[in-house]
Amino acid sequence: MSDTSLPPELYTALADLLGSSGFLTNSTDTASYCTDWRMLYQGKCAAVLRPATTADCAQAVTLCVQYGVPIVPQGGNTSMVGGATPDESGKAVVISTTRMNRILNIDHADLTMTVEAGVTLKAAQDAALKEGLMLPLSISSEGSADIGGILATNAGGNNTVRYGNARELALGLEAVMPDGAVLNVMRKLRKDNTGYALRQLLIGSEGTLGIITTAVIQLQPQPRTRETALCAVPNAKGALDLFAAFRKQDPAAIQAFEYMSGTSMGLVNALIDNCPLPLSEPAPAYALVELASPRADDSLRTLMEDVLGAAFESGLVSDAVLAESETQRQNLWMIREEHAEAQKRAGASVKNDVSVPLAAIPEFIEKATQACEALIPGIRVAPFGHIGDGNIHFNLVQPEGADPKGFLAQDHAMMDTVANIVRTLGGSFSAEHGVGQLKTYMMPSWRGGAELDGMRKIKAALDPQNLMNPGKIFPTA
């Protein structure tokens, strides 16, 4: 028996239940489950449990609760807020869903996919594509993030502007509740008004109210035409004006509309292989626009050329490249999707995943940039994001040559500086990444009073021992 804090009887019961590939206690095997993608947190766990079925997951939860052992649900472990990382006590177990990885059904009549929580988003997208359908959720981490984590965080991403967040796509789910009971609301219904929609409570709960094990996801017909262009614009306001021009012509055609600042693009071009700037010269800002239609005609190309033509004439767009092939389209998307990795390579960074009303974005970026540059001279302000739905990743990269530790030590000062401006503009301090453990300290001042009180009462009712992902969402009282 390796150095685990688990009581021997629990150890034996879990080992018998889950077997050698489902029960990990050796620190070499558990290490990767105990740190996060940004390497902000280094936790410790008593064991990693990898059940292969909902029944085994329910039994494992029941056993852990009997012994008062905390549980940290984990999917692809791509959280940006330390949500899936255990604390340093070594008392908790991580329950990983990665072995629950079957696609159970694709229904062409109801346009749904029934899928286990451990299936990666990419694998689910590919399965839909093979059937001529589309799973309309796309995030840069889709190769690792899985369906359970996507729902638990109510992930957004590149296509929210057209199809909504994960919450809008989930018709049904199954989950193991904090007492080990299995909640089965696996329905394919668009209409079902029968009391509280508990699935909506679990979506976005970040693993604090139960472990999602299976889900029913809405699909769409696969687009038959797509037009993708990268455009040089003067600033975020320019990107918004271009967005408005496309929306005026045909709002339903917009599949994605992403903004990238000159600084964030520069980091990608400099630090990521095979991601050169595909335009004649650097610009202050960029917009990546993707149009899509289930119709196989050239109306999208006409729409793209009309709007960009007018934008060139008015000086709104100074340069642009239109993808002429699927490879070119993927190359343009790679530039956008490598932003997070480029910022990781550039040094220490503080992420501010915020949202404000669209019209407030230019003012937000201007004020927050000035405030952060005053706070830390030489800071590299590198915003980008899903501007079409008001979500800006106002990310701050350490000054060149600065001490990473010293920079990160001021993370709250930077986060509060940005958040206070977001607050004045009626925005949110967390648009899509969630609260995790990184932003719990913000909850009382942002969601205090009846809202936080209500959340605490629901948590206490469903998880009276506070064993399900403790230390996440809620600041320690």
Residues that bind ligand FAD in the complex, under the rule CB under 6 A: 37, 72-80, 83-84, 97, 117, 139-141, 144-146, 148-150, 152-153, 155-157, 206-207, 211-212, 340, 432-433, 436, 469, 472
Number of H helices, E strands in the chain: 18, 19
Name every residue whose Cβ is closer than 8 Å to that of residue 131 and which is 6 or more positions away in sequence: 106, 108
Q: Which does 150 bind (CB under 5 to 8 A by kind): ligand MLT, ligand FAD, none?
A: ligand FAD
| Cβ neighbour number for residue 112 with a 10 Å cutoff | 22
Given a contact cutoff of 8 angstroms between Cβ atoms, the answer to whether 300 and 322 are in contact is no
Q: Which does 339 bind (CB under 5 to 8 A by kind): ligand MLT, ligand FAD, none?
A: ligand MLT
CB of 47 or CB of 354, closer to ligand MLT: 354
Compute the least distance from the CB of residue 72 to ligand FAD, in Å: 6
Alpha-carbon distance 153 to 357, whole Å?
Answer: 21
Q: Which does 468 bind (CB under 5 to 8 A by kind): ligand MLT, ligand FAD, none?
A: none
CA dihedral (13, 16, 17, 23) in degrees, to 10, reads 90
Q: Which does 351 bind (CB under 5 to 8 A by kind): ligand FAD, ligand MLT, none?
A: ligand MLT
Instruction: Give the DSSP H or E segment for 249.
Output: helix 236-249
Alpha-carbon distance 96 to 368, whole Å?
Answer: 38
Residue 395 in the binding site for ligand MLT (CB under 6 A): yes
Number of residues binding to ligand MLT, judged by CB under 6 A: 7
Compute the least distance from the CB of residue 352 to ligand MLT, in Å: 8
Q: 424 φ, ψ to 5°?
A: -65, -20
Compute the least distance from the CB of residue 313 to ligand MLT, in Å: 32
CB of 85 or CB of 293, closer to ligand FAD: 85
- Six token digits for residue 424: 């004045």
CB of 170 or CB of 397, closer to ligand MLT: 397
Compute the least distance from the CB of residue 83 to ligand FAD, in Å: 3
Handedness of CA 240, 246, 248, 252 (dihedral sign): negative
Pick one of 50, 339, 439, 472: the residue that binds ligand MLT (CB under 6 A).
339
Given a contact cutoff of 8 angstroms between Cβ atoms, the answer to whether 396 and 349 are in contact is yes
Alpha-carbon distance 176 to 57, whole Å?
Answer: 7
Compute the least distance from the CB of residue 452 to ligand MLT, in Å: 25
Task: Show the binding pattern over residues 348-367: x = contacts ligand MLT (CB under 6 A), - = does not.
Answer: ---x-x--------------
Q: Which does 393 bind (CB under 5 to 8 A by kind): ligand MLT, ligand FAD, none?
A: ligand MLT
DSSP string for residues in 296-314:
-STHHHHHHHHHHHHHHHH
Q: Which does 212 bind (CB under 5 to 8 A by kind): ligand MLT, ligand FAD, none?
A: ligand FAD
Instruction: Give the DSSP H or E segment for 30.
Output: helix 27-30
Name every residue whose Cβ is closer than 8 Å to that of residue 372 and which is 6 or more positions away in sequence: 379, 381, 396, 414, 417, 418
Residue 340 in the binding site for ligand MLT (CB under 6 A): yes
Compute the least distance from the CB of residue 82 to ligand FAD, in Å: 8
Residue 393 in the binding site for ligand MLT (CB under 6 A): yes
Q: Which of residues 84-143 bind ligand MLT (CB under 6 A)?
A: 140
Given a contact cutoff of 8 angstroms between Cβ atoms, the answer to whether 264 and 395 are in contact is yes
CB of 293 or CB of 437, closer to ligand FAD: 437
DSSP bridge pairs for 231: 287, 320
Compute the least distance from the CB of residue 306 to ligand MLT, in Å: 29
Compute the least distance from the CB of residue 38 to ligand MLT, in Å: 9
Q: What angle (nearest 5°) sits at the alpha carbon of residue 358, between those of residues 247 and 258?
A: 65
Cα 338 → chain centroid: 15
CB of 120 or CB of 140, closer to ligand MLT: 140
Question: Which residues contact ligand MLT by CB under 6 A?
Answer: 140, 339-340, 351, 353, 393, 395
